[in-house]
Chains A and B, each alone.
Chain A
Amino acid sequence: MQGLLPYLVRRLLWVPVILLAVSFIAFAITRFGPGDPVRVAMGQYSDPVVLERVRHEEGLDKPLLQQYGIYVKNLAHGKLGESFTYRNRDVSEVIFPKIWVSARLGLVAMLIVFAVGVPLGVFAALRQGTWADPLSISTLLVFQSIPVLISVPLMQIVLVLKLHWLPAAGWGGILDTHIVMPALAISLPGIAGVARLTRATMLSVLREDYVRTARAKGLGEFTVITRHVVRNSLLPLVTVVGISLATLVEGAFFAEMLLGVPGIGQLAFQAVNGRDYNIILALILILTTTFIIASIAIDIAYTIIDPRVRYERREIG
């Protein structure tokens, strides 16, 4: 792992550069785009004199670079600013509880996706050529095709109104019945993708020479599969896991809205609609950061799982 540390340092040095670039682009778009948070906050009351006065008080009439400079200075002190929609509330106190809710919900959904998807993919790959393979994959594709807007009301009719097994809406934490429906709604479409990826990778690994060698050595089929085939099929899944973890902070808009989960999905949508600049920028920065971290983590994971992957600089000549 000798070349890893310099590699890591190089990657990490880019982080502030990327964040500055992304935040500046987002900042410029918010200021130059149509719509204005103060005007939105005023609602049906539309006096332009008041609008100008309040925009001035909020510093929104300063030149773009000056506004951006103030924003970055505050950011350096760890301050994300105040929300325009939720008056006098810090952005951090508005978004972090919601991100935490969405992250937990997303994590449970991810666990379902991989706990169900990977074994199903393995199963389908091993049963290739029989009816079990296309049947299992097709079933999953049916689930993938049902949009959340349809699956949630259906689940509510059956699980809530007819069977009374679950509550209709709300949130009670990760160990509470409220999490079941949103987790199912979010995970069902994803299972098909993971299963198909696992299946495809496994099928290509099953054709490799070392599998034939392992069988020729006399190893039992179960040992061959678990020790050689599955482990080598996991590499592409690492990428999927990494990206999924990064996008936990995005939330799931429809599932949250229909099932009353106080997550970040709904808020992100509202913030864009309401032009709440500070919330929008904070979310963009957080998402960019998690993506960068996830991408670095994926690359490191590759070196651990597959010793053939190396990141040292090559020598020429």
Chain B
Amino acid sequence: MKRLGAVAALLLGLLVVASIVACGGGSDSSEDVGDAGGNGASGSTLRMVGNDPLTLDPALVTDAVSASYIVEIYSGLVTIGQDLKIAPDIAKSWDVSPDGRTYTFHLREDVVFQQTYRQVTAEDFKYSMERTANPDTVSTVAEAYLGDIVGVKEMINGTASEISGIEAVDDFTLRITIDDAKPYFIAKMACPTAFVVDKTQIEDDRRNWTKKPHGTGPYQVKQWKLGESLTLQANQRYYAGVPAVKTVEFVLSGGSRLTMYEDDEVDVAGVSVNDIERVLDSSDPLHSEYLSADMMSVSYLGFNTQKAPFDDPKVRQAFGMAVDREKIVEVVLKDMVPVAHSVLPPGLPGYNAGATVATFDPEKAKQLLAESSYGGPSGLPKVTLSQVGAGATAGDDTQAMVEMWKKNLGVEVEIQQTDQATFWQDLDKKSYQMFAAGWVMDYPDPEDILDILFNSKSHQNNTGYNNPEVDRLLIQARTEQDSSKRMALYQQAEELILADAPWIPLYYGRDHVVVKPYVKDFMLPPVVMPYLKYVTIDE
């Protein structure tokens, strides 16, 4: 019995192993993720490392990763060009009514959906935007990007079954009416929520259409294996010219990117703070392949202006002046990011190179703290800086700041870390005194940061900042038609905000990559926008 049992167990084991190997071998032959190295680019294929898109449905996208793929696969009325300005896309031109509230878009007649080549008409745009606003779609971003259009709010609430402000005048003329003369409306139309989707495909296969969507962009999805790889193929009927790079492969499963790059498994790889010194060293072979570019994003320390001790602007200003950000960037961050001296990052219309944020001045800082309603460091309640983290270590820059507050102000700041989900929930509840956060521009207009974050009535005002003068400027800027006057209003608002210091702006974003020498015209997009179509590969 015992012997039979042992032999039987062994045979069963072998059978199990054999069947796993057989199944594994067969189904994986097409599953190859990652090259075995050393081949270089094969013809016109660009191999990149990417993160998993959470969705390829333009109506649902909220994260930059998913959006970066969506802008290559789909397109809309307008887009963001290489000069970071709004440019015509499917709409070859548009007229704005004298009262600034009605936009009439004239569509190209050579735009077709991928795979089926069905022609795109104004009706398709109306369908797409109504789909985004439809409560059945469960989009979290319909209000934000389409909310200015008349009738959208009613559709979201379920009291209307169509958007009254969108009209397909004829096949190639689309008329959109918005609730006020807002010049930044056109910038919002460059975001995925306004992109056109294929009604026929969606109604045919509601569950699975996003796996191989019929977009209208420069690339189409050839294959998407969740968590493994995403392969894009040049759209042969792309109306603005078929892209030079025929295939783009994204490795989604992760892995040490720089090692993969050095092993010739990918053509582009990000460079982290651990590797930047090696790459910047001119004697290193990677140095000639290094590329960096400014991003339209800003990191900051935010203060809860409704909570002690940061309800007193002098305390906020004191904390800001006690931190030597230049030194932190130079020593801790190895100059990888530019020090922020404003709220609006460079490249954004309205960016003010002369914006005066309080600079490092420990004497003045001490003085301000003494002048504040708390009388000095001993009069302060316990101060906590909240950030996202795993509890093992605060970032080197945060620790440096804590040291500086101790040394220059005599204040002991405690660091509290929570995971991302808890952090956002507590931030929304305004439980924090001081917190570390960042903001990434969705579209190139100052409204997307100043109005959204600093207007006292805004739902996303996470500092509780309330300045009636700033509110007045922001509201006026919403409908100011003259572009330079409008930017001046935003810059005035920014000056007031910097003086009141609900923020310590820390750094602007900057991306660092290495790119293989045979990949030409590779750009790092400062904001989410299509860029793969500009790349070429030297064979």
CB of A211 to closest CB in B, whole Å: 17
Kindly list chain A residues whose C-beta atoms are within 8 Å of the C-beta of B25.
Answer: 173-175
Chain B 248-262 interface 0/1 with A at a Cβ cutoff of 8 Å (1 = within): 000111111001101
Q: A161-B259, A175-B25 given as contacts; is B210 within 8 A of A88 (CB)? A: yes
What's the least CB distance linking A94 to chain B, in Å? 6
Which residues on the A side are within 8 Å of B228 (C-beta)? 171, 262
B140:A45 contact, CB within 8 angstroms: yes
Query: Which positions 341-384 of chain B face chain A at CB distance < 8 Å?
Result: none
Contacts A35-B421, A44-B439, A171-B253 given; indicate if A87 touches B60 (C-beta within 8 A).
yes
25 residue pairs A–B, Cβ–Cβ below 8 Å: A34-B426, A35-B419, A39-B428, A46-B462, A93-B226, A94-B226, A97-B226, A167-B36, A168-B34, A168-B37, A171-B28, A171-B33, A175-B24, A175-B25, A176-B32, A231-B6, A257-B254, A258-B254, A258-B255, A260-B33, A261-B254, A262-B228, A266-B254, A273-B421, A275-B421
Q: Please, how many angstroms separate the alpha-carbon atoms of A164 and B420 in the complex?
A: 39
Give, as a whole number of angstroms, the nearest-CB distance from B45 to chain A. Answer: 16
Distance between A29 CB and nearest chain B CB, rounded to angstroms: 14
- Of A6-14, A190-198, A200-208, A299-307, the one touching chain B: A299-307
Query: Is A172 a contact of B32 with CB atoms below 8 Å?
Result: yes
Per-position 1/0 for B233-268, Cβ under 8 A of A:
000000000000000000111111001101101000
C-alpha spacing A164/B38, complex, angstroms: 8
Q: How large is the interface on A (under 10, 10 to 19, 20 to 34, 35 or more residues)?
A: 35 or more
Do the beta carbons of B37 and A39 come within 8 Å of each other? no
14 new A-B contacts, CB < 8 A, other than A37-B421, A41-B54, A45-B144, are: A35-B422, A36-B421, A98-B227, A104-B20, A168-B260, A175-B21, A176-B32, A257-B254, A260-B33, A262-B228, A262-B253, A266-B254, A273-B421, A304-B1
- A89 near B: Cβ within 8 Å? yes
A43 sits at the interface (CB 8 A): yes
Q: In the bound complex, how far is the Cα of B32 from the Cα of A167, in angstroms?
A: 12
Distance in angstroms from B173 CB to nearest chain A CB is 32
Check if A48 is an interface residue, CB within 8 A of chain B: yes
Using CB atoms, name the residue of chain B closest to A33.
B422
Q: How far is the CB of B534 from chain A (nearest CB, A)?
A: 27
The one of B21, B33, B207, B460 that contacts A45, using a Cβ cutoff of 8 Å: B460
Q: Given contacts A169-B254, A260-B251, is CB(A304)–CB(B265) below 8 Å?
A: no
Residues 159-176 of B contacting A (Cβ, < 8 Å): none
Contacts of A175 in B (CB 8 A): 21, 24-25, 28
Taking CB atoms, residues of chain A closer than 8 Å to B57 are 87-88
Q: Are B263 and A173 in contact (CB under 8 A)?
A: no
Q: Is the CB of A304 within 8 A of B62?
A: no
Which chain A residues (234-264) contact chain B, with CB distance < 8 Å?
256-262
User: When chains A and B are docked, how far (Å) is the Cα of A238 from the Cα of B284?
Assistant: 53
In the bound assembly, the distance between CA atoms of A151 and B429 in angstroms comes to 43
Tell me the bound Cα distance from A16 to B336 in angstroms: 55
CA distance A89 to B62 in the complex (A): 16
Determine whether B40 belongs to the interface, using a CB cutoff of 8 Å to chain A.
Answer: no
- Interface size grouping (class) on chain B: 35 or more
The answer to the question of A18 belonging to the interface, with a C-beta cut-off of 8 Å to chain B, is no
- Whether A49 contacts B459 in the complex (CB less than 8 A), given A94-B226, A168-B255, A174-B20, comes out as yes
Q: How far is the CA of A165 from the CA of B225 in the complex (A)?
A: 27
User: Which 4 A-B pairs rank lowest in CB-CB distance, beginning with the nearest?
Assistant: A170-B34, A169-B255, A173-B28, A260-B255
User: Which residues on B sit within 8 Å (CB–CB) of A301?
Assistant: 9
A50 contact set on B, CB distance < 8 A: 140, 143-144
Q: Give min CB distance, A91 to chain B, whole Å.
A: 12
Closest residue of B by beta carbon distance from A171: B33
Contact at B138–A54, with CB atoms within 8 Å?
Answer: yes
CA–CA, A160 to B38, complex, Å?
10
B→A interface (CB under 8 Å): 1-2, 5-6, 9, 17, 20-21, 24-25, 27-29, 31-38, 52, 54-55, 57, 60, 62-63, 135, 138, 140-141, 143-144, 156, 207, 210, 225-228, 251-256, 259-260, 262-263, 265, 418-422, 424-428, 438-440, 459-460, 462
Residues of A within 8 A of B (CB): 34-51, 53-54, 57-58, 85-89, 93-94, 97-98, 104, 107, 111, 152-153, 156, 160-161, 164, 167-178, 231, 256-262, 266-267, 273-275, 301, 304-305, 307
What is the number of contacts between chain A and chain B, taking CB atoms within 8 Å? 210
Please give me the residue from chain B that is nearest to A104 by CB atom. B24
The residue that B253 contacts in the complex, of A85, A88, A176, A261, with Cβ under 8 A, is A261
Q: Using Cβ atoms and an 8 Å threshold, which residues of chain A touch B225?
A: 97, 262
Main secondary structure of the interface of A (DSSP, over half): helix
A34 touches B251 (CB 8 A): no
Interfacial chain B residues near A42, Cβ < 8 Å: 62, 140-141
CA distance A170 to B263 in the complex (A): 12
Nearest A residue to B427, CB-CB: A46
| CB <8 Å contact, B34 and A260 | yes
For the complex, give the distance between the alpha carbons of A317 and B206 in Å: 68
Instruction: Give which listed residue, B6, B60, B259, contacts A169 with CB less than 8 A.
Output: B259
Contact A161 B263 (CB under 8 A): yes
Query: Using Cβ atoms and an 8 Å threshold, which residues of chain B touch A93?
Result: 226
Determine how close the nearest CB of chain A comes to the CB of B159; give it in whole angstroms: 13
Our pick among B31, B253, B419 for the contact of A173 (Cβ within 8 Å) is B31
B212 to chain A, nearest CB (A): 14
Q: A46-B460, A173-B24 are in contact. Are A41 and B140 (CB under 8 A)?
A: yes
Complex formed: what's the CA distance from A260 to B214 in Å?
A: 29
With contacts A42-B140, A50-B140 taken as known, whether A171 is within 8 angstroms of B34 at the C-beta atoms is yes
A58 and B138: CB pair below 8 A? yes
| B8: min CB distance to chain A, Å | 8
Contact of B5 with A304 in the complex, beta carbons under 8 Å: yes
Contacts of B54 in A (CB 8 A): 41, 85-87
Contacts of B419 in A (CB 8 A): 35, 273
B253 and A260 contacting across the interface, CB-CB below 8 Å: yes
- Which A residues are in CB contact (< 8 Å) with B227? 94, 97-98, 262, 266-267
B301 to A: closest C-beta gap in Å: 16
- Complex partner residue of B6 from A40, A86, A305, CB under 8 angstroms: A305
- Flag if A36 contacts B20 (CB, 8 Å): no
B1→A307 contact, CB < 8 A: yes
Nearest A residue to B452 via CB reads A45
Cα distance A169–B266 in the bound complex, in angstroms: 10
- Residues of chain B within 8 A (CB-CB) of A305 are 2, 5-6
Residue of B whose beta carbon sits closest to that of A47:
B459
List, in ascending order, chain A residues with CB within 8 A of B17's CB.
107, 111
B2, B62, B143: the one within 8 Å of A43 (CB):
B62
- For B426, list chain A residues within 8 Å (CB): 34
CA gap between A50 and B133 in the complex, in Å: 12
Find the A residue at minimum CB distance from B210: A88
Contact B428 A48 (CB under 8 A): yes
A126 to B1, CA, bound (A): 28
- Looking across the interface, which residue of chain A has its beta carbon closest to that of B26? A173
A164-B251 CB under 8 A given contacts A88-B207, A307-B1: no
Q: Chain A's nearest CB lies how many Å from the CB of B167?
A: 26
User: What's the minimum C-beta distance from A185 to chain B, rounded to whole angstroms?
Assistant: 13
When distances are taken between beta carbons in the complex, the residues of chain B under 8 Å from A170 are 32-35, 251, 253, 255, 265
Which residue, B63, B140, B420, has most C-beta atoms of chain A within 10 A?
B140
